[in-house]
Chains A and B, each alone.
Chain A
């Protein structure tokens, strides 16, 4: 160890890897991981999210799971909670879409409207519209 700068570098690197242990985060991404979510492919989505956050060394983001969000036919679903903003619900996720959400929404702050649950509102489905739901 030669200098405080060298120490600070080690600290910052180690800190980012321990971030998961610090309670409240600015941004929380929640993946629906009930049976319906998992069978629709939520696990690769979750993996892709973690992977992308790691590659971009993003801070203050937690990825966690939740149970059934309730609209099983749109699984895999992820929800993004940001303090002070309304939550955004993305549906029918794939690993590719998930990566794009990290780069567009999380990094640049642009919600990808096409992936949100709002994009299907009004569309006909055998169970009624999203608004009915």
Chain B
């Protein structure tokens, strides 16, 4: 590592990589060389900055200039103007990062202002493929401190006092888990990290692994020391190739430096870590199915008890936590448990990372202190709803969660409040919906997901989710009866009570929560055969408003079903309702807005 006068940080997270940040990185290097700046300016590939909406993102230090939506063709301008001549290219800056001719530091941009980064503290700050940069941010200090100064019991106690709860969904007190695992007697114990993030739209764990993989390595070693385990596994989905690659680099570097392996910090403590790839089954995010999968068996849940702390991997005591949970541990050790206990609400401490998606201006990854309200997340951090549309609901907790309506926008977000609203924290997906979203259709979407992902072991989930999906299909196709709504509700409660694992037990949640808050939409579909949001195709009709039709025939030309009749310039066009496939092509094509959907 040499000293450079300026650093160019290019986001190398999956989102920005998909929008070509690899080429941007290479072009930077080429352009810098061309201008003989390659010895003065260093280009670094980092993890996710969080503001994925504005990607690909680059930050140039020491000025802290935040360039957004950077294209390959812009690089020569940035190099020649900013890095050679020192003139920041204002046109390419993120618009929120620039005010009255001065650059605002990232912390003052609306998107970041209300955030508090603990799990993501190094994401977008360090080069995840360089262990030295992690060490520079106090990395491996916590592991050193634990091994040099603390007994395993003391470590467990600190985690307990911090009030940290599992970030993967359920919110079980982490310290308690550590205590169970440490008290069980056993020659061989394991630490396992669940990185099988499967909720649609969620990418918190991926970002941590891509942006700061060492934090997981360090935390797992600390956990190993606390419970008396010398071996660990990270179970990560194969669909996360960048995360897998960087994690492997991190493990190799830690081994080489003696931060993994035998006799770490000369303490006599040994810890080894390896990666296991998941093949993409959602159910493998359930802890017992995950353990089966690591053992090489089919990924299906086992009944609990026995819990993994007693009989986990290969029937040995196992501590299993999620990526984000682990990523909090080193900070708690360094700053002390009181530090975390002072952040958040009474029963939910610290921060939570959410993947903010859907009908929202600032799509991206946000980390907020527990107790922040949904309103702050949607309107301040998220920048509100695009195109002036009305907010309808936020879906949290993925396929296991539910919807929160505008009446509850001011609810402080924490584990218990979300459960009260018949949703859940889940792993942190947060999908924002506006007036154009049909809530029955949303419930159907999630049910289709859980139905597909059901492993088939227990009948309530295997058969029940299918039946619920069929009822929803009838309702959205206009074939529903009022009894269907009751049947759906009854079935939902039965599945909740009888399914084997968390996936099955929570699968009816999207239905129950939309029924609770949007029953009128269900009834409109059934009674009036009408979809209030205009989404469910079978319930839509397209027609031409005769007064507005200019007889141009453009609609007829676009119709793939050839069901629009008329004579150009002579007669008003009409749509044959029985042949119409409701694709909406005519509506989009008509320059005079003469076609309406109802």
Residues of A within 8 A of B (CB): 1-4, 7, 10-11, 13-18, 20-21, 23, 25, 28, 30-31, 33-35, 38, 46-47, 49-50, 53-54, 62-67
Once bound together, how far apart are the Cα atoms of A23 and B62, in whole Å?
6
With known contacts A21-B125, A47-B40, A64–B62 Cβ distance under 8 A: yes
Which of A7, A18, A20, A46 is the one whose CB lies under 8 Å from B140?
A: A7
CB neighbours (8 Å) of A64 from chain B are 5-6, 62-63, 86
CB neighbours (8 Å) of B585 from chain A are none
Can you list 14 A-B pairs, Cβ within 8 angstroms, ordered by A?
A: A2-B265, A7-B135, A11-B135, A11-B139, A17-B136, A18-B133, A20-B7, A20-B62, A62-B62, A64-B5, A64-B63, A65-B85, A67-B86, A67-B87
Which of A4, A35, A53, A65 is the one whose CB lies under 8 Å from B265?
A: A4
Which of B63, B132, B140 is the one whose CB lies under 8 Å from A1?
A: B140
Interface residues on chain B, size class: 35 or more
Is chain A's binding surface mostly helix, strand, loop or mixed? helix
Contact, CB under 8 Å: B135 / A66: no
Contact, CB under 8 Å: B140 / A33: no
Once bound together, how far apart are the Cα atoms of A10 and B133, in whole Å?
9
CB neighbours (8 Å) of A50 from chain B are 3-5, 40
**Binary contact readout B143-160 vs A (1 if CB under 8 angstroms, 0 otherwise):** 011001000000000000
With known contacts A3-B265, A54-B3, A10–B132 Cβ distance under 8 A: yes
CB neighbours (8 Å) of B265 from chain A are 1-4
- Output the least CB separation between B264 and chain A (Å): 7
With known contacts A17-B2, A20-B5, A38-B85, A25–B62 Cβ distance under 8 A: yes
| Docked complex: B106-136 residues within 8 A CB-CB of A | 125-126, 132-133, 135-136
Q: For residue B130, which residue of chain A has the nearest CB?
A: A14
**Given A1-B264, A14-B136, A20-B62, 16 further pairs, Cβ under 8 A:** A1-B140, A1-B257, A1-B258, A1-B265, A4-B148, A7-B141, A14-B132, A17-B1, A20-B6, A20-B7, A20-B61, A25-B62, A33-B86, A35-B85, A62-B5, A67-B87
CB neighbours (8 Å) of B148 from chain A are 3-4
User: Taking the complex as formed, is B105 at the interface, i.e. its CB lies under 8 A from any CB of chain A?
Assistant: yes
Residues of B within 8 A of A (CB): 1-7, 9, 40, 61-64, 84-87, 105, 125-126, 132-133, 135-136, 138-141, 144-145, 148, 257-259, 264-266
- Output the least CB separation between A80 and chain B (Å): 15
- Output the least CB separation between B12 and chain A (Å): 16
CB neighbours (8 Å) of B1 from chain A are 13-14, 17
Which of A3, A15, A25, A28 is the one whose CB lies under 8 Å from B266?
A: A3
Which of B85, B138, B139 is the one whose CB lies under 8 Å from A67?
A: B85
CB neighbours (8 Å) of A10 from chain B are 132, 135
CB neighbours (8 Å) of B5 from chain A are 20, 46, 49-50, 62-64
Once bound together, how far apart are the Cα atoms of A77 and B131, in whole Å?
39
Contact, CB under 8 Å: B141 / A21: no
CB neighbours (8 Å) of A13 from chain B are 1, 132
Contact, CB under 8 Å: B3 / A17: yes
Q: For residue A30, which residue of chain B has the nearest CB?
A: B86
- Output the least CB separation between B125 and chain A (Å): 7
With known contacts A1-B258, A38-B85, A16–B140 Cβ distance under 8 A: no
CB neighbours (8 Å) of A46 from chain B are 5, 40
Once bound together, how far apart are the Cα atoms of A63 and B6, in whole Å?
8
Once bound together, how far apart are the Cα atoms of A50 and B257, in whole Å?
30
- Output the least CB separation between B478 and chain A (Å): 58
Contact, CB under 8 Å: A33 / B85: yes
Contact, CB under 8 Å: B7 / A21: yes
- Output the least CB separation between B167 and chain A (Å): 27
Contact, CB under 8 Å: A7 / B144: yes
Contact, CB under 8 Å: A21 / B9: yes
- Of the listed residues A7, A23, A66, the one surrounded by the most CB atoms of chain B closer than 10 A to its CB is A7
Once bound together, how far apart are the Cα atoms of A53 and B257, in whole Å?
29
CB neighbours (8 Å) of B264 from chain A are 1
- Output the least CB separation between A94 and chain B (Å): 18
Once bound together, how far apart are the Cα atoms of A38 and B83, in whole Å?
13
- Output the least CB separation between A85 and chain B (Å): 19
Once bound together, how far apart are the Cα atoms of A3 and B145, in whole Å?
10
Contact, CB under 8 Å: B259 / A34: no
CB neighbours (8 Å) of A15 from chain B are 136
Q: For residue A57, which residue of chain B has the nearest CB?
A: B3
- Of the listed residues B40, B62, B139, B141, the one surrounded by the most CB atoms of chain A closer than 10 A to its CB is B62
CB neighbours (8 Å) of A49 from chain B are 5
- Output the least CB separation between B385 and chain A (Å): 32
